[in-house]
């Protein structure tokens, strides 16, 4: 495996010693090899991000997974802007797997030993984690970091390519470089108006040294960044040419269907392969530690056979686990558990203990599944000491490492193909499907095997969003503002759980920024504030789910904010605004939100508005919902107004699309989302008992972009956290019922 505790410790020592480690933002000639190897039809690579063919078509290596968020387009805009090329000449393709494409931003924000919840500043912890990221070289997509991580290196790559092409033209003409400029895929000699196309120059340009400090364009000169450019992946998705993981069909393909022990941590005790080997098309029965696979000449035949295969499972130690017992444990930990402190300002606990009028509330959120539209699948081929893997994934580096481990070979002998993802949301950063597929393929050397999970396997063997319990205590000062705020959260720690699967030696404790994000980093200022989290170790596998801890902490915090506003007898908007005196950016979003949503304009009978404001992934989102609610709890969300400050906007169209996507994802969770456990196994099995918001009950969505000049923020996850509290706050306005537990169907609400 390419990742080890030794590698991590060496990297940590290098950081401690002050060494500059990791990959350069702008690679030299020796790092171009990975992209040069993909060149075809006369293409020439200028660096690890750019290839140009003889006709001047520019192909951009996109180092992040395209899972609907438009990253093929937005990242290509960074190159196109600096390279000075016409958008019609730009193409995008998935970058190969190489350490040069490391996502350092994702790692430095995600691990527990970064120093707090920074907003893009170069803190010591952020610098340390960026250096460690360079050593580990993990190429991954997540944490709403794709643009933030690529903003500098991909613009530098484009600028370097532009300068190399200008120099190549100047050398060919014999003119000074200062007399030449780039424009729309051509180099122009200004005095003589002679031109040369990029396709004519790329071979000569590639022979030049890569500039060490290429000049980036000022924002005032942007022509592509900030514009809604035509998406590069839409046409192939519409005409059916796009290849997702489930579409892959290498020659000689066989199919595998699986059955995994339904109890967490269980294993296979016995199975009778003779019962199915004579069935039509069945080729083999292959065990893996927690289950059994049947391989056949069609997936349907493989599924019919696995359904008929007699299997006896050993439930292990977790057969008695259930949702009620988990929340009883949470309740006990809420009272007595050892907590990690994530924010401590003033003396919140001491101050509250002296007050006679303290508001207290406890909130509850369930486990959630990712529920991607494309079922989990992976295709693998093992032959002559080499492995080839085709899988929709968010972390090709991890795919490479764990495929190698499953086949017991060096990772250099693994080839990873990363097609489009039919939904990711954090689920496809996991590699369980890779380990299974390679294990199965290893039993049939030379034959590619496509393993596809049923929807039932998908729901019942996810890496779930953690369930959580959260208690607040708060009190007001004489002006009706928050004087003290104490929040204690109990849940499993996603990063710890993930690390126990990826690198157990690094799963050192259960402190984890993701558990308190959305609570500890609230933009509101309180004189006394204490935020703490009690980590709980359970056999339920948890992981990264769209917006991670923000997904439940926003519901908890913004609901309690409304409760405090009601206690103060203040308007929800004005109450929040008074607590943002030191945060003009957040206050501006709130003010714009109140204006666009016509906050002060009353609605008719049975209708109400609710508000929430939340900061996550370097961006601020405010949302107001309008609902209609009947006496029998028939509820419709009629309109959602969102105001977004994500710093620099690269592509307004994709930002709006991601806000709408995040809204629907968050509304689905708020109304329906719930994973229950009985006898150690998940009870939900398909969309019939894990429903989705549909076109018929989706609201009108109105999004306003309001960049303030703040540091570049993410957008992929930021609309999901505030939508639930905005809805529940509206319900309180309409009916006076305070919702403290999700999903809403548990409180009898039905979406009309």
Average predicted confidence (pLDDT) for the chain: 93
CB 180 within 8 A of CB 166: yes
User: pLDDT value at position 31?
Assistant: 65
Res 746 pLDDT > 80: yes
User: pLDDT value at position 505?
Assistant: 80
Mean pLDDT for 213-224 is 96
Q: Give the separation between CA 391 and CA 417, rounded to whole angstroms.
A: 6
Q: Enter the DSSP assignment of 601.
A: S
Specify if 742 maps to a domain.
yes
Backbone angles phi, psi at 184, to 5 degrees: 50, 50
2 or 149: whose pLDDT is higher?
Answer: 149
CB 82 within 8 A of CB 162: yes
User: pLDDT value at position 122?
Assistant: 61
Helix, strand, coil percent values for the chain (each to nearest 5) = 35, 25, 40
Q: Give the separation between CA 416 and CA 396, rounded to whole angstroms.
A: 7
Q: Give the separation between CA 89 and CA 718, rounded to whole angstroms.
A: 32
- Look up the CATH number of the domain holding residue 488: 3.30.365.10
- 605-662 residue pLDDT tens: 999 999 999 999 999 999 999 999 999 999 999 999 999 999 999 999 999 999 999 9
Strands (E), 320-402: 340-345, 359-365, 377-383, 386-390
**589-608 b/e with 16+ CB inside 10 Å = b?**
bbbbbbebbebeeebeeebb
Q: Same domain, yes or no, for 227 and 304?
A: no
Q: Same domain, yes or no, for 384 and 436?
A: yes
Confidence of residue 294 (pLDDT cuts 50, 70, 90): very high
Which of 22-31, 39-48, 543-552, 649-658 is least confident?
Answer: 22-31
Q: Give the separation between CA 401 and CA 475, rounded to whole angstroms.
A: 51
What would the two tokens of residue 119 be?
């907003």
Specify if 246 maps to a domain.
no
Which of the listed residues 424, 454, 484 is the one where a domain comes to its end?
454
The position carrying tokens 């206050």 is 587
Specify if 243 maps to a domain.
no
Mean pLDDT for 693-711 is 94
Q: Same domain, yes or no, for 353 and 382?
A: no
- Determine the distance from the C-alpha atom of residue 470 to the mean position of all C-alpha atoms in its chain, rounded to a whole number: 24
Mean pLDDT for 224-247 is 97
Res 390 pLDDT > 60: yes
What would the two tokens of residue 406 be?
């499953």
Which of the listed residues 179, 203, 238 is the one where a domain comes to its end?
238
Q: Is 548 left (phi over 0), alpha (psi -120 to 50) or beta?
A: left
Q: Same domain, yes or no, for 683 and 650?
A: yes
Specify if 326 maps to a domain.
no
Domains in the chain: how many in total?
3
Q: Give the separation between CA 1 and CA 406, rounded to whole angstroms.
A: 9
What angle do the packed helices 124-136 and 5-16 form, to 10 degrees?
140
Q: Same domain, yes or no, for 743 and 597?
A: yes
User: pLDDT value at position 511?
Assistant: 72
Q: Same domain, yes or no, for 348 and 415?
A: no
Mean pLDDT for 210-216 is 92
DSSP string spanning 459-486? HHT--BBPPEEEEEEEEE-TTSSEEEEE
Q: Same domain, yes or no, for 544 and 599?
A: yes
Q: Same domain, yes or no, for 18 and 118?
A: yes
Specify if 64 maps to a domain.
yes
What would the two tokens of residue 502 be?
């990826």
The 3-state DSSP class for residue 116 equals: coil
The 3-state DSSP class for residue 581 equals: coil
Q: Same domain, yes or no, for 423 and 484?
A: no
Across the beta sheet with 180-183, what order do the strands follow?
Answer: 180-183, 186-189, 194-197
Backbone angles phi, psi at 705, to 5 degrees: -90, 130
| 705: enclosing H helix or E strand | strand 700-705
Which of 94-103, 122-131, 322-331, 393-402 is least confident?
Answer: 122-131
The position carrying tokens 């350069």 is 24
Q: Same domain, yes or no, for 181 and 109?
A: yes
What would the two tokens of residue 213 be?
């400090």
Q: Give the separation between CA 564 and CA 566, rounded to whole angstroms.
A: 5
Q: Same domain, yes or no, for 404 and 493?
A: no
Which of the listed residues 410, 436, 454 is the one where a domain comes to its end?
454
Confidence of residue 710 (pLDDT cuts 50, 70, 90): confident
Confidence of residue 563 (pLDDT cuts 50, 70, 90): very high
Confidence of residue 488 (pLDDT cuts 50, 70, 90): very high
Q: Enter the DSSP assignment of 375.
A: P
Q: Same domain, yes or no, for 613 and 647?
A: yes
Nearest Cα to Cα of residue 627 among 744, 746, 518, 705: 744
- 663-687 residue pLDDT tens: 999 999 999 999 999 999 999 999 9
User: pLDDT value at position 106?
Assistant: 85
Nearest Cα to Cα of residue 396 among 69, 137, 47, 108: 137
Res 112 pLDDT > 60: no
User: pLDDT value at position 15?
Assistant: 35
Res 115 pLDDT > 50: no
| 638: enclosing H helix or E strand | strand 634-645
Specify if 346 maps to a domain.
yes
Nearest Cα to Cα of residue 520 among 570, 594, 470: 470
Domain that holds residue 690: 337-367+464-751
Res 153 pLDDT > 90: yes
Q: Give the separation between CA 150 and CA 63, rounded to whole angstroms.
A: 9
User: pLDDT value at position 105?
Assistant: 84
- 45-104 residue pLDDT tens: 999 999 999 999 999 999 999 999 999 999 999 999 999 999 999 999 999 999 999 998
Mean pLDDT for 246-258 is 98
Specify if 459 maps to a domain.
no
Mean pLDDT for 318-330 is 98
Percent of residues, the chain, with pLDDT higher than 70: 92
Backbone angles phi, psi at 310, to 5 degrees: -70, 115
Nearest Cα to Cα of residue 423 among 380, 393, 390, 378: 393
User: pLDDT value at position 111?
Assistant: 54
Percent of residues, the chain, with pLDDT higher than 90: 87
Specify if 244 maps to a domain.
no
The position carrying tokens 């409760």 is 563
């Amino acid at each position: 495996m390419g990742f080890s505790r030794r590698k991590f410790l060496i990297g940590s020592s290098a950081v401690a010693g002050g060494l500059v480690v990791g990959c350069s933002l702008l690679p030299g000639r020796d790092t171009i090899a990975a992209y040069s190897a993909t060149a075809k039809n006369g293409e020439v690579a200028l660096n690890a991000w750019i290839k140009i063919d003889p006709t001047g078509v520019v192909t951009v290596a996109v180092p992040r997974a395209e899972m609907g968020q438009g990253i093929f387009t937005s990242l290509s805009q960074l190159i196109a802007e600096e390279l000075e090329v016409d958008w019609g000449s730009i193409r995008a393709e998935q970058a190969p797997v190489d350490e040069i494409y490391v996502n350092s931003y994702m790692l430095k924000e995600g691990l527990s030993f970064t120093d707090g919840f920074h907003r893009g500043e170069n803190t010591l912890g952020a610098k340390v984690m960026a250096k460690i990221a360079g050593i580990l070289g993990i190429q991954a997509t997540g944490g709403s970091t794709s643009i933030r991580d690529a903003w500098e290196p991909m613009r530098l790559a484009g600028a370097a390519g532009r300068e190399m092409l200008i120099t190549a033209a100047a050398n060919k003409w014999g003119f000074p470089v200062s007399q030449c400029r780039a424009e729309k895929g051509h180099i122009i000699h200004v005095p003589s108006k002679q031109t040369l196309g990029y396709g004519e120059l790329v071979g000569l340009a590639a022979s030049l040294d890569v500039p060490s400090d290429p000049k980036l364009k000022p924002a005032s000169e942007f022509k592509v960044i900030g514009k809604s450019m035509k998406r590069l992946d839409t046409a192939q998705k519409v005409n059916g040419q796009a290849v997702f993981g489930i579409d892959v069909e290498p020659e000689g393909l066989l199919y595998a269907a699986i059955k995994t022990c339904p109890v967490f941590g269980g294993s296979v005790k016995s199975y009778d392969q003779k019962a199915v080997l004579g069935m039509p098309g069945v080729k083999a029965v292959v065990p893996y530690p927690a289950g059994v696979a049947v391989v056949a000449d069609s997936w349907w035949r493989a599924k019919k056979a696995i359904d008929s295969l007699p299997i006896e499972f050993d439930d292990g130690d977790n057969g008695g686990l259930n949702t009620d017992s988990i929340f009883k444990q949470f309740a006990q930990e809420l009272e007595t558990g050892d907590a990690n402190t994530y924010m401590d300002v003033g003396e919140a606990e001491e101050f509250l203990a002296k007050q006679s009028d303290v508001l207290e509330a406890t909130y509850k959120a369930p486990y959630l599944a990712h529920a991607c539209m494309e079922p989990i699948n992976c295709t693998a081929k093992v032959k002559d000491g080499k492995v080839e893997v085709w899988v929709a994934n968010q972390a090709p580096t991890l795919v490479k490492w764990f495929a190698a481990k499953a086949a017991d070979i060096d990772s250099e002998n693994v080839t990873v193909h990363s097609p489009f993802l039919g939904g990711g949301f954090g689920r496809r950063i996991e590699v369980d499907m890779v380990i299974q597929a390679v294990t199965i393929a290893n039993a049939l050397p030379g034959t590619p095997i496509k393993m596809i999970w049923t929807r039932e396997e998908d729901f019942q063997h996810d890496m779930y969003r953690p369930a959580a319990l959260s208690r607040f205590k708060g009190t007001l000062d004489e002006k009706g503002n928050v004087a003290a705020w104490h929040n204690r959260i109990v849940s499993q720690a996603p990063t710890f759980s993930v690390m126990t699967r990826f690198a157990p030696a690094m799963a050192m404790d259960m402190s984890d920024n993701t558990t308190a994000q959305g609570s500890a980093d609230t933009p509101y200022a309180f004189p006394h504030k204490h935020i703490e989290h009690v980590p709980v170790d359970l056999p339920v596998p948890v992981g990264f789910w769209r917006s991670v801890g923000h997904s439940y902490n926003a519901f908890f915090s913004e609901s309690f904010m409304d409760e405090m506003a009601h206690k103060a007898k203040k308007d929800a908007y004005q109450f929040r605004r008074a607590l943002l005196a030191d945060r003009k950016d957040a206050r501006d979003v709130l003010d714009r939100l109140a204006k666009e949503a016509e906050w002060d304009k009353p609605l008719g009978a049975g209708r109400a508005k609710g508000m929430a404001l939340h900061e996550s992934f370097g961006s601020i989102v405010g949302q107001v919902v309008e609902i209609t609610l009947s006496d029998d709890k028939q509820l419709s969300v009629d309109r959602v107004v969102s105001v977004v400050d994500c710093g620099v906007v690269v592509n307004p169209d994709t930002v709006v699309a991601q806000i709408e996507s995040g809204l629907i994802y968050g509304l689905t969770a708020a109304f329906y989302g719930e994973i229950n456990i009985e006898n150690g196994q998940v009870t939900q099995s398909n969309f019939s008992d894990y429903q989705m918001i549909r076109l018929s009950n989706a609201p009108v969505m109105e999004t306003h972009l309001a960049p303030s000049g703040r540091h570049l923020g993410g957008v992929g996850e930021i609309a999901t956290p505030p939508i639930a509290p905005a809805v529940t706050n509206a319900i309180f306005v309409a009916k006076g019922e305070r919702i403290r537990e999700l999903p809403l169907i548990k409180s009898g609400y039905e979406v009309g």
